[in-house]
Amino acid sequence: MTTERIAAQGSPAGAGASNRSYREVTDARGRVYRIGETDRDILGHSRKFMVYLPWVAMMAISVFEYAYGSAEDTLSHAHGWTQSNTFWILSVWVFFQAGVAFPAGWMREKGILTARKAMYLGAGMCVIGFLALSHLSNVLLAILGFGVIGGIGSGFVYATCINMVGKWFPERRGARTGFVNGGFAYGSLPFIFIFNYAFDTGNYHRVLDLIGCYVMIVVLSCAFFFKDPPKNWWPADIDPLTHGGDAKSAASLAKNPPAVKQYTPKEAIRSGVLPLMWITLVMTAGVSIFGISFQVDFAKEVGFGPLVAASSMGIMAVINGIGRAVVGWLSDTWGRKMTLVFVIVVLGLAQFGVIWAGDIKSEWLFLFFAFLSGFGGGAFYPMFAALTPDYFGENYNATNYGLVYSGKLISGLFGGGLGSMVVAAWGYNGAYALAGGISMVAAAIALLLRQPGRDSDVLTPTPQPAG
């Protein structure tokens, strides 16, 4: 059943109002699809820009998390912090970076905050975070500046970028989401080597101040072009009822069918699937954050030189990012859930491999398992980002994914701060073994995930008129 509508909206270029017609098509389950408007009608240019711009912004903010571990020694000496102090600063950053995803999504979907304004706000808070890390020696003030304000700012940017891709590519989101998400890891690579080779107590003010300005400028430049599609929007060249029109999209939709309805956050929680996703992400992200926090220190503890330590983290960051793009593409072919399980198992096995490489003091094996750990430790994020709209629809994706991603705020506590306590009590081998075991349990839980409503819904209910 279809309902014809005529829309009169201002052109994106500001050239005045133009009439654009669209249809709202209701499928057998009652889900509404808005078709007829192309991406160029809405944006004035190709929706591919809504992949590349979020990708660039994600690369800019990646320095917060993925390069921080390489800067810890210098920060400790410069400010007189203990190792525990520096780990807790990162843990607080993770807590707020993940925790702001839900309120940011809620404000966007209520019209309180547009995507562009969310990015502007995030850019300003990001630069404050680096200025705090540079100039505040009091650890509590540093936690407030970098951990809280910087975490909230980077969280605004991260959540806005990921949700932007999911909204603009509802028919084949895996590869695009993975590509954008990958920027959040390998974008940090230059800074990992800067922090290991050109960062010391004599220049740390200048380096951190410049990095903060770089992040702000890049994010602001990308934000200027951000815009969400209308609710229920669907690409004009893909039939949402038959999936006809594009062979690749049809194949992806067969493996990852659209959500049966647009689930509100309350409905998503009541389905039981969203809480399972949250638990799985808590466990998997905890293992990933643990690896990011301790990779360099473990390498130095074993006796590997600074080149191996820096290279292991560099490899982890690059493969972490590339792995996100690869599994995003793979999930369009394999299906999202099985790809997620595969990634989590690889992450778990890598933790045991790191122990083995350290025990036999093999630098090559250590780099290899750093490769695997980097792959598994990042590739699960785009899977959750793509599974959320696959399971619950696009209209409430910012809040629904915000709920799922909020699991990372718990992960940050036991992956970083509590992880340092486990290392102190059990040593690196015991901590890595525990991380590997947690990852395997998470993979088992992921096997229980399913798309809510699809198995139980009747295929031919009486459709209701849209709107």
pLDDT recorded at residue 1: 47
Q: Is 240 left (phi over 0), alpha (psi -120 to 50) or beta?
A: alpha
| Total Cβ atoms within 10 A of residue 4 | 9
User: What confidence tier does 446 reach under pLDDT thresholds 50, 70, 90?
Assistant: very high
Query: Which pLDDT does position 121 carry in this prediction?
Result: 97
Q: Residue 310 — pLDDT band, cuts 50, 70, 90? A: low
**Average pLDDT of the segment spanning 83-106:** 87
Distance in angstroms between the alpha carbons of the first and the last residue of the chain: 12
Provide, rounded to the nearest whole percent, the portion of the chain with pLDDT above 90.
Answer: 43
Nearest to 171 by CA among 35, 320, 327: 35
3-state SS track over the chain = CEEEEEEEEECCCCCCEEEEEEEEEECCCCCEEEECCCHHHHHCCCCCHHHHHHHHHHHHHCHHHHCHHHHHHHHHHHHCCCHHHHHHHHHHHHHHHHHCHHHHHHHHHCCCCCHHHHHHHHHHHHHHHHHHHHHCCCHHHHHHHHHHHHHHHHHHHHHHHHHHHHHHCCCCHHHHHHHHHHHHHHCCHHHHHHHHHCCCCCCHHHHHHHHHHHHHHHHHHHHCCCCCCCCCECCCCCCCCCCCCCHHHHHHHHHCCCCCCCCCHHHHHHCCHHHHHHHHHHHHHHHHHHHHHHHHHHHHHHCCCHHHHHHHHHHHHHHHHHHHHHHHHHHHHHCHHHHHHHHHHHHHHHHHHHHHHHHCCCHHHHHHHHHHHHHHHHHHHHHHHHHHHHHHCCCCHHHHHHHHHCHHHHHHHHHHHHHHHHHHHHHHHHHHHHHHHHHHHHHHHHCCCCCCCCCCCCCCCCCCCCC
Per residue in 240-254, pLDDT tens? 887 666 666 667 777
Q: Is the pLDDT of residue 210 over 90?
A: yes
- CA count, 13 A, side-chain hemisphere, 82: 6
What Rg, from alpha-carbon coordinates, does the chain have? 22
In one-letter notation, the amino acid at residue 283 is: M
For domain 49-446, say whether CATH 3.40.190.10 is its number. no
Q: Is 120 left (phi over 0), alpha (psi -120 to 50) or beta?
A: alpha
* pLDDT value of position 291: 77
Could you read off the pLDDT of 127-136 as tens digits, one per residue?
999 999 999 9
Please check the confidence at residue 460 and state whether its pLDDT lies above 50: no
Read off the pLDDT band of 305 (50, 70, 90): low
User: What pLDDT score was predicted for residue 227?
Assistant: 92
Point out the least confidently predicted range of 56-65, 226-235, 285-294. 285-294
| 170, 207, 208, 224, 251 from 248: Cα distances, Å | 13, 45, 44, 31, 5
C-alpha separations of 5 from 167, 239, 257, 282 in Å? 21, 17, 26, 43
pLDDT in tens, 16-51: 334 468 888 888 778 888 988 889 999 989 999 999
Exposed / middle / buried, residue 164 (Cβ in 10 Å: 0-12, 13-18, 19+): buried
Taking the CA atoms of 427, 433, 437 and 438 in sequence, report the sign of the dihedral they define: positive
Per-residue pLDDT at 205: 92
pLDDT band at 59 (very low <50, low <70, confident <90, very high): very high
Say whether pLDDT at 83 is over 70.
yes
% the chain with pLDDT above 70: 87
Q: Where are the domains of the chain?
A: 2-43, 49-446
The residue among 1 and 352 whose pLDDT is bigger is 352
* 0.85 surpassed by pTM: no
CB 281 within 8 A of CB 384: yes
Q: Which residue has the higher pLDDT, 15 or 443?
A: 443
pLDDT tens, residue by residue, 347-389: 999 999 988 988 888 878 888 887 788 788 888 999 999 999 9
b/e code 276-286 from CB counts within 10 Å (16+ = b): bbbbbbbbbbb
**Report for 15-19, 118-122, 326-330: range of highest mean pLDDT:** 118-122
Q: How high does pLDDT run on average in the chain?
A: 84
Write out pLDDT tens, residues 398-426.
Answer: 899 999 999 988 887 776 667 777 877 88
List the structure tokens of 346.
Answer: 């690889």
pLDDT of residue 452: 92
- Per residue in 182-201, pLDDT (tens digit) is 898 888 888 888 887 888 88
CA 386 to CA 382: how far, in whole Å? 6
> Which one has a higher pLDDT value, 258 or 310?
258
Does position 459 have pLDDT exceeding 50, yes or no?
Answer: no
- Residue 462 scores a pLDDT above 50: no
Contacts of 355 (CB under 8 A, 6+ apart): 428, 429, 432, 433
Q: How far is CA 330 from CA 256, 320, 338, 370, in A?
A: 12, 15, 10, 21
Residue 464 banded pLDDT, cuts 50, 70, 90: very low
Residue-level pLDDT at 302:
73
Q: So what's the pLDDT on residue 257?
A: 86
